[in-house]
């Protein structure tokens, strides 16, 4: 198996950190380009009318800029001159955006945490990982953190 591109998905959880560490290690071993992906899901306010369901574009751009800065601080600063990497913030349905990105960039290996944030995020991220595993055309590695989040 030739691995030239690796994508790691993050929601900034403990399991996502474990996935990042594993992906970073693999990218170094294979001298692969590493894509770090975070997807900003649509923000929906159920108390608004149908025409106001999605967050206005301007607010979405500010959130994306904040996420890019956070990714640079948490991940980019650790990768600096060690490997070729790209930070990617996408906006939309999480698993669909990940699957589209994997396909468009011809990613060889996707790395994800088994579960993300606790509570509802825990349930949602688990289903996201499951959907990516079942639908991705590339290999997918699911990483579990040492301390199981429940």
Highest mean pLDDT among 9-23, 47-61, 73-87: 9-23
Structural domain range at position 26: 5-143
List of residues 6+ apart from 142 with CB closer than 8 A: 112, 113, 114, 129, 133
Q: Is residue 62 part of a domain?
A: yes
> pLDDT, tens digit, for every residue of 104-135?
999 999 999 886 554 444 444 457 888 999 99
Domain contains 125: yes
- CATH no. for residue 123? 3.40.50.620
Residue 148 lies in a domain: no
Sheet with 85-91: strands ordered across: 85-91, 33-40, 5-9, 109-113, 139-143
Contact 60, 68 (CB under 8 A): no
Structural domain total, the chain: 1
Residue 95, Cβ neighbours under 10 Å: how many?
A: 21
150 found inside a domain: no
Mean pLDDT of the chain: 82
Residues 6+ apart with CB under 8 A from 95: 127, 128, 131, 132, 135
């Amino acid at each position: 198996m030739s691995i030239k591109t690796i994508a790691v998905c993050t929601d900034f959880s403990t399991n996502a950190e474990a996935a990042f560490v594993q992906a970073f290690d693999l990218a170094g071993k294979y001298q692969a380009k590493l894509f770090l992906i975070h997807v900003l899901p649509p923000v929906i306010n159920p108390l608004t009318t149908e025409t106001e369901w999605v967050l206005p574009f301007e607010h979405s751009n500010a959130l994306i800029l904040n996420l890019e800065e956070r990714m640079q601080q948490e991940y980019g600063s650790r990768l600096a001159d060690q490997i070729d990497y790209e930070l990617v913030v996408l906006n939309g349905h999480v698993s669909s955006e990940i699957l589209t990105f994997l396909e468009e960039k011809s990613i060889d290996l996707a790395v994800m945490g088994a579960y993300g944030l606790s509570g509802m995020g825990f349930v949602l991220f688990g289903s996201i990982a499951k959907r990516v595993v079942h639908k991705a055309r590339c290999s997918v590695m699911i990483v579990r953190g040492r301390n199981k989040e429940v």
